[in-house]
Amino acid sequence: MKIAALQMVSSPRVADNLDHARAWIAQAAQAGAELIALPEYFCLMGHRDTDKLAIAEPLADAAITDATRTPIQHMLATAAQTHGVWLIGGTIPIASDDPHKVYNTVLAYNPQGQRVARYDKIHLFKFDDGVRRYDESVCLRPGLEPVAFTLTDRNGEAWRIGLSVCYDLRFPELFRALGAAEPLDLIVLPAAFTDTTGKAHWELLLRARAVENLCHVMAPAQGGQHENGRATFGHAMVIDPWGAVLALHAIGEGMAIADILHSRQAHIRQQLPALDHRVIR
> Which residues are known to be catalytic?
40, 121, 166
Cβ atoms of 29 and 83 within 8 Å: the answer is yes
- For residue 242, the SS3 value is coil
Nearest in space to 2 (alpha carbons), one of 52, 25, 36: 36
As a whole number of angstroms, the distance between CA 39 and CA 154 comes to: 24
- Under DSSP, the state recorded for 182 is S
Using CB atoms within 10 A of its CB, is residue 201 exposed (0-12), middle (13-18) or buried (19+)? middle
Residue among 180, 238, 234 nearest 207 (CA): 238
Q: Is residue 254 within 8 Å of 220, Cβ to Cβ?
A: no
Interatomic CA distance for residues 159 and 151, integer angstroms? 5
Other CB atoms within 10 A of residue 253 CB = 18
Q: Are 161 and 108 in contact (CB under 8 A)?
A: yes
State the Rg of the chain over Cα.
17
Residue 10 to residue 223: CA distance in whole angstroms: 9
